[in-house]
Amino acid sequence: MNIQPDDNNEDFTAKARKNNVVRNFMSYLRFLGLFHIFFGAYAWLYIIGGIYEDMPFTNLNFFSQVEVIFIATISVIAGLGLWLLTPWGVTLWLLHTTIVVFSNIFNENPIILLSLFIPIQAFFLIIYIFLRQKYEAFIEDFGHIHSH
């Protein structure tokens, strides 16, 4: 987007700041999407036997196999949705992350739990910053409306 100064109520720096927040948020979602595409590909490598030969996929119990297949599938789909910046991508990512976090709480795998917890916290922090800026812009516009 190209931002030009104009004579409207909203000044040039406010537009540029808002544009940077949106651009940074989009970059974050795309990075997260790539991470999940690779996470899903890694899980598929495990399923087809490309990694962890000492603990093959076929030796897992039925419920663990279902969990791995589900996570592998939804990771790739959610990653694609995040890369494309779609609302369903974020929804699938939250669903995937919730399932993985709860399954790892019960399996006591802190490495995977932390690797998913940090992006979740960053996501909510970015949403908070975005909503806070929207709120401040609303208050500023509200003041301009009532001052006339």
Residue 56 Ramachandran class (φ > 0 left, ψ -120 to 50 alpha, else beta): beta
Using CA atoms, how far residue 148 sits from 48, 84, 136, 143, in Å, is 68, 43, 19, 9
pLDDT of res. 112: 67
Q: 134 and 127 in contact (C-beta within 8 Å)?
A: no
pLDDT-flagged residues of the chain (< 70): 1-18, 104-114, 135, 138-139, 141-148
Residue 97, burial from CB neighbour count under 10 angstroms (0-12, 13-18, 19+): buried
pTM here? 0.63
- Compute the C-alpha angle 55/103/26, nearest 5°: 105
Q: 72 and 47 in contact (C-beta within 8 Å)?
A: yes
Residue the block writes with tokens 């791995």: 68
Going from N- to C-terminal start, the domains of the chain cover: 20-52+60-146
